[in-house]
Structure 1
Amino acid sequence: MNFLPLVLLTTALTLLTTTASASLILGTGTEALVGGDLTDPENDGLANSNVNYNAMFRSSIEPAFGNGESAFNVFDNILSSGNAKWCCDGGNVWVEADFGTNRYILDKFTLSSANDVPNRDSDQWSILGSNDGINYTSIYSYDVAGSSIWGATRFEVIQFSNADDYNVNTAYSIFRYQSTSVVSGNNHQLGEIEFFGTAAVNDSAVNVPEPTTLAIFALGLIGLASRRFKS
């Protein structure tokens, strides 16, 4: 009996039914958030105002906290309806956290669904890194047409980790969430984002020679200078 066609058919069916899975579902609601992320290590940022945060925020649309479900609400450490989420027109939309001169290797991040209308969840999104706000590199991408990472579950917190879900060893000062498609309809929404990382050593740092090395180097220069004066 020839088993090859059966094997090929089984493989094909497996590929057709495979769906993307996230690393770890942490639970639902504000209490499932990890907390203490890079944007607010002290967990003391104000919910409806850009106060006590450790990053500068920018977005393609609705750049504010509070203010009718604006973009920066994804950093307010709260999962709730109203101004605790970001809801906007769909299409190509993004929000980012800029840590200035500090660079981090992204160890993990969490994304959380908002309170209503699962069709507004993104089904095509990426986490990007940059050091100049112009050139961006994809760290993690999700693209499953018609399906989000949360399904119908609301306020669900999902964590993605370096080495398990993606691989990155480059440090960045800017991390961006960007969505280019939603499950269906014309609106995009997101509950919360948390970024966690390891601070990188300054790339421009120079190894300083030991004092003994400096002394020997100086004596060498003196000897070279004396030889030149004698010639």
Structure 2
Amino acid sequence: MKRVLFALLTATALLAGSAHGASVRTTGLAGSDLTDPENDGRANEYANYNAVFRSSFAAGYANEGAFNVFDNVVGGGSDKWCCMMNGWVEADFGSKRYQLTSFTAASANDAAGRDSDIWQILGSNDGMNYTTIFSYNRDGVSPWGANRNQVIEYVAGTDFTLPAAYSIFRYQTFSVVSGGLHQLAELEFFGEEPVAVAEVPEPGSLALLGLGILAALGLRRKRA
């Protein structure tokens, strides 16, 4: 079953981007991400965040809850998410839409067998229909290897194709390296609001405008 899933997601990855040579951040988290640009989020009060969080397992912050992946801390315990191996967590920015330009994913403190080896980043604007932005598909291989509390950065244009603008970004895990538990320490999403393109008048409208100007000039000449 895992091989079938791997094959299906690999096909999807060819369209969405699935680079595995992303860079390790030696300085840790980037900070000032979309969920907390001011870096003042208070996890135990669920305050000062610029998004609403949801998850399929262990919603909340305490006891290795899912929302710990947005608390700006990498580590174990209340600084990570630990759950069954198939699950998702997402950040919803409401009326704001962003093109994802990069994101980071950090390993937690525990055994590397709990790292996801098949996972995706998805985008949505309605919470029902999701589009794959990035896929990691390496059966039995952790993106972090044996490194614990390590931050890896994935960048649009290098590791995945710059996507359309979305209001919801979801991390979805399908499998882990070994065992039945999944863990993740942190996620950071970075993006930009799309630039509005000014409407260009239709050629017919421009022609009518030109005729109107000529007519006005003709009237002025007659009066003169």
Aligned to 2:28: 32
TM-score by length of 1: 0.76
CA contact (8 A) 1:48 1:73 kept: no
Structure 1 residues 176 and 202: alpha-carbon distance in aligned structure 2, compared to 1, 3 A threshold = farther
Any runs of at least 4 consecutive aligned residues in structure 1 with deviations exceeding 4 A, and if so which? 205-208
Structure 2 residue aligned with 1:171, among 140, 165, 180?
165
1:153-172 correspondence to structure 2 within 5 Å: 153-172=147-166
Tell me the CA shift for residue 48 of structure 1: 2.5
**Partners of 1:124 and 1:136 in 2: CA distance:** 17
* Aligned mates of 1:88, 1:39 — CA distance in 2: 22
Equivalent residues of 1:47, 1:84 under 8 A apart: no
CA deviations on 1:54-93 (whole Å, 9 max, x unpaired) are 001000011112x200000000000122101000111x20
Residue equivalent to 1:128 = 122
Corresponding residue number in structure 2 for 1:56: 52
Q: What letter matches 2:24 in structure 1?
A: I
Q: Paired residue for 2:7?
A: none
Amino acid at match of 2:43: A
For the structure 1 residues 99 and 207, does the alpha-carbon distance in structure 2 shift closer, same or farther, using more than 3 Å as the test? farther
Task: Look up the match of 1:114.
Answer: 108
1:73 aligns with 2:72: no
2:88 paired residue among 91, 94, 97:
94
Tell me the CA shift for residue 47 of structure 1. 3.0
Deviations 1:79-125 (A, max 9, x none): 122101000111x2000000011110000000000001110000000
Once the two structures are superposed, the pairs formed by residues 127-146 of structure 1 within 5 Å of their partners are: 127-146=121-140
1:12-53 Cα offsets, whole Å, 9 max, x none, are xxxxxxxx63321002xxx51000000000000013231100
Residue of structure 2 in register with 1:22 after alignment? 21
Give the one of 74, 78, 85 matched to 1:83.
78
User: How far off its partner does 1:201 sit?
Assistant: 4.1
Compared with structure 1, are the counterparts of its residues 202 and 102 closer, same or farther at alpha carbon in structure 2 (3 Å cutoff)? farther
State the Cα RMSD in Å. Answer: 2.2
Q: Do the aligned residues in 1 keep the contact of 2:20 with 2:159 (CA within 8 Å)?
A: no
CA distance in 1, matches of 2:174, 2:115: 11
Preserved contact between residue 48 and residue 83 of structure 1 (Cα < 8 Å): no
Look up the equivalent residue of 1:94 and give its one-letter code.
W
Q: Which residue of structure 1 aligns with residue 142 of structure 2?
A: 148
Q: Larger Cα Rg: Structure 1 or Structure 2? A: 1
Q: Is the 8 A contact 2:92 2:169 kept in 1?
A: yes
After superposition, the Cα gap between the structure-2 partners of 1:202 and 1:100, relative to the gap in structure 1 and judged at 3 Å, is farther
Q: Identity, % of aligned pairs?
A: 55
Q: What's the CA shift for 1:206?
A: 6.4
